[in-house]
Homo-oligomer: A and B are copies of this chain.
């Protein structure tokens, strides 16, 4: 990756994409700004200019992840509000965007008070909530159950804890059948 121009032109995106790839392969710990800079063919300090600091990079990734998740939930909701299908969608999101998912749920990595991130998080959260039947405490409990089971499944799978349990079966259908054990009728 050699450059003829002084300005890269698309560094922001390139850095994030390189980071996502690295995270998927070897986790967020393996990410160094200097590695990203080398991969992009820029100087070692260029990444910090775009993101302020390393946590800024992860903040950008977490925000992007929340928006991607929100988009997906919104698409699902357009087809009718079925909480269980939303859960399956959540699980598929974690599998399709492992790096985003990983960063999103590691608050120690990013700037928790970032306003853009807060807005993105709210958007995704509100969409999820809008799919819950019932109201008040009962609705809260249903949301809690659905979110917990989907998040737990996605997380345990990502960390390799379900390899033996899921051996030889399709994770998506397995999740669907498992989620069927949840009583969510109003």
Contact = CB atoms under 8 A, between A and B. Distances in A.
B144 A178 contact: yes
Copies in the complex: 2
A5 to B, nearest CB: 36
Interface in A1-45: 26-30
A165 to B, nearest CB: 6
A78 interface: no
A130 interface: no
A141 B28 CA distance: 31
Interface residues of A, number: 38
A112 to B, nearest CB: 8
Interface of A: 26-30, 105-109, 140-145, 147-153, 155-156, 159-162, 165, 174, 177-179, 181-184
A28 to B, nearest CB: 8
Given A149-B148, A182-B182, A159 B26 contact: no
Contacts of A182: 145, 181-183
26 contacts: A27-B106, A29-B29, A29-B109, A105-B159, A105-B161, A106-B159, A107-B159, A107-B160, A141-B181, A145-B149, A145-B179, A147-B152, A148-B149, A148-B152, A148-B153, A148-B178, A150-B152, A151-B152, A151-B156, A152-B152, A152-B155, A155-B155, A181-B183, A181-B184, A182-B183, A183-B183
